[in-house]
Structure 1
């Protein structure tokens, strides 16, 4: 699976909506202490665990073809 964009709303230090577009390959998250770098990774982890409860996209989204992702 490839993540192209992350959108975080009302999670920890991101009270407003925060959007981060990712490029192909390696992406670096750089910032000052307590800027929210770890929060971005934690949001991805929580989302992936939540998604896993439903058996992934194939069961959660009708018509999703995970072979194409």
Structure 2
């Protein structure tokens, strides 16, 4: 019976350790997305919004329609 108490205690300590490691990784910015902003700038010309909330054509779309 004492082995069960020991295993439960050890498993709780390991779980808390992993939780703290995860929280530290999130706070240090390890899971920040660095890839998407670099790709997003390639597609910024596709559709732009006007200040009046109207969609305007990009230069590429204007050239295609001519």
Q: Find the structure with the greater CA-based Rg.
A: 2
Q: Which is richer in helix?
A: 2
Give me the TM-score of the superposition, normalised by structure 1: 0.33
Higher RCO (Cα < 8 Å, 6 or more apart): 1
